[in-house]
Amino acid sequence: MANGPMDRRAFGEQPERPNGNGNGNGSGNTAEYTGRYVVLLDPNNQEGGLNALRSSADIAPWERVRGAAAANVSELLERPDVSVLFENLSVAVVEVRPENRFALVTTAEAEGSILAAEPERMVYASPITTPQQAPTDFFPSYRSDDDVVAHHSQAEAAASLGPALDEQSVTWGLQAIRANISGMTGRGVKVAVLDTGVDTDHPDLVGCIEETASFVPGQEVEDGHSHGTHCIGTVAGPRNPLQGPRYGVACDARILAGKVLANNGRGPDGGILAGIEWAISRGAKVISLSLGSPVLPGEIFPQTYELLAQRALDMGTVIVAAAGNNSLRPGFVAPVGRPANCPSILAVGSLDKALKTAFSSCGGINGLGGEVNIAGPGVAVHSAVPGGGHAMKSGTSMATPHVAGVLALLAEANPTASAADLKAALLSGAFPLTQPARDVGVGLLQAP
């Protein structure tokens, strides 16, 4: 079997562990590496690939982790004397000394049991903090059927009074994707949100949290950032919150809350992989990743994540990821970030209340899978935050859990559908927009 392309540029730059003083905050367009490598193995010959690397590159001895046991792997991933093999995914995070990295790369290219090997990167939560221009419109006409025309008229009337008044009972995002009039609630469908954790005591969320796990060494699953709680609220906030409008897409979905980003909003690929292994083993139909790292124009998608996403689909799980917030429109459009740029991961763009592409939303300029697949509400999104309250946040991070929620609705409506079927149904149900597919993919997300 042919090996995936190796990131020789990154290899040549001798990726090092972060020293805590770097600028890798996700706001720039450069990648930050941990010094380790992620190696994707042939599921039928995991030992062969690791033994070859052990022999040629002297990688650290590996520990096997399988399924739900991944919830306890955070400390193991921090040890420089251990490599970690996630058996179900057939992927390993390996420690290798700098002088042996070239041997690792050449061995990976030559060894048939190794499908891909790439430097491990840091990924980031990246909500938009730049002040937003006040919205001047409220989703103008985007459908032509009678019901929607009537709804549009109501919306225009509401817009004349201001969007805030129109959001007294339901957020603009849920109205735009029709989640508020869907007959589905996502009852019983498990959605994994891998992020900065969750406020487990939030009165709106305590009822929807099925299970939690932290993949961050030394930190409990409690959300010290607020990003994860906000995303989980958008997926499964209650139909009747104690305060404010309804903001949860799939009110009866069950949440698997995995903390893969630290309270500073950063985390390595290894924690993401551990979270994916755990989520699939716990029965997640959907994995929502409102995180990523920037890529350069022309940069190819990561083979490791792409093959992992294909395996996840085969195991019944759809992975959704934020396209990224590195653009500065209209003058500059940044490419879709990693791992959303993988062909088998749904990349989500961000829309404002006028259903225009958000100024920061990344675009599909790299091709080869780096396109935006679908767009969702991502500006001035009201949801839960730690401490029991609520707040508005913006970014593709906020649009992504809207997509995850609708996938839960589709899974409830089609309980025997495969992951590939759910993905196809999501895309076929979108409402076309006037913006180029580069920015919004098939269009505006719609609930069934």
Whether 42 sits among the annotated catalytic residues: the reply is: no
In angstroms, the CA 235 to CA 27 distance is 25
The catalytically annotated residue of 7, 166, 195, 223 is 195
Q: How far is CA 376 from CA 170, 361, 403, 427, 439, in A?
A: 16, 11, 7, 12, 11
Separation of alpha carbons 42 and 48, rounded Å: 9
Residue carrying the six token digits 């009074």: 161
Contact 218, 254 (CB under 8 A): no
The span from the CA of 393 to the CA of 195, in Å, is 15
**Helix (H) or strand (E) segment spanning residue 148:** helix 146-161
Among the options 90, 397, 402, 439, which is catalytic? 397
58 given a catalytic annotation: no
Angle at CA 365, nearest 5°, toward 360 and 371? 85
Query: Annotated catalytic residue: which of 227, 230, 382, 390?
Result: 227
Structure tokens at 368: 């080869």
What does the H/E/C string look like for 256-315? EEEECCCCCCEEEHHHHHHHHHHHHHCCCCEEEECCEECCCCCCCCCHHHHHHHHHHHHC
Catalytic residue list contains 227: yes
Place of tokens 């190796």: 6
Task: Kindly report the backbone phi and psi dihedral angles of residue 9, in degrees, each rounded to the nearest multiple of 5, phi listed first.
Answer: -65, -45
Handedness of CA 292, 229, 217, 70 (dihedral sign): negative
- Tell me the C-alpha distance between 252 and 234, whole Å: 12
Q: Would you state the structure tokens that stand for residue 204, as one six-digit string?
A: 């709106």
Give the separation between CA 135 and CA 117, rounded to whole angstroms. Answer: 45
Alpha-carbon separation of residue 304 from 12, 341, 371 (angstroms): 19, 12, 18
Nearest in space to 80 (alpha carbons), one of 58, 60, 50: 60
User: 423: helix, coil or strand?
Assistant: helix
CA trace torsion 377, 378, 379, 381 (10° rounding): 80
List residues with catalytic annotation.
195, 227, 397
